[in-house]
Amino acid sequence: MAAPDASRTGGGKGTLAAPLAALMVLAGALSVAEDDRLTPYKDSAGIWTVCRGVTGPAVIPGKRYTPEECAVLNNAAMHKHTDGIARCINRPLQWYEWVAWGHFTYNVGVSGFCNSAAARHLRAGNSDAACAQIPSWRFITVGGAKRDCRDRSWNCYGIVQRREWEMSMCRGDIPASNYPDIEAWLKEPA
């Protein structure tokens, strides 16, 4: 596949850490993909979740979180995931790659991402092959059994749609002009 059109993606300004503008786009994308739910619930895979998809020890079943608590948890989770990407990839990524892989990793976890074929391709410098791996992450595990989310009866088809968006973003198919903060960052001197 050819490199993304620089007029659509903003050119070749890659960074070793997610730029603030990419984090802002990622935060906005996560707010669309993940509802800010103040009461913990079990997601489609049975994992306790709160706010915008936050999992782990911060989730206390039965507790009602405030919007302020969710803002803190959401921000911490986003940074945890992008920092994890930086540690395991350790090479510059384009802003759209930061957004795509941050969105992906927020869903599958740092360990899932870092141990994936996609991460191996990124470390080897093959972004196209890495992006092509995204649709294969369309499964959830319920009761020890893998469920393909293309089957709408499993009530997880949103993962398939999420992967389609992530793959488009990863390939630079979504124009930078959709994101004014990115456009401003791309115009800054290197």
State the catalytic residues: 34, 43
Give 140's strand partners. 147
Cα separation, 95 vs 21, in Å, equals 8
Q: Using N-to-C axis directions, what is the helix angle for 180-187 and 20-33, rounded to 10°?
A: 170
58 φ, ψ to 5°?
Answer: -75, -15
Distances 13 to 17, 143, 156, 174 between C-alpha atoms, Å: 12, 44, 35, 16
In terms of DSSP bridges, do strands 37-42 and 48-51 run parallel, antiparallel, or are they unpaired?
antiparallel
Q: How many beta carbons lie within 10 A of that of residue 60, not counting itself?
A: 11
Amino acid at 84: G
List, in order, residues 6 or more apart from 32 with CB less than 8 Å away. Answer: none
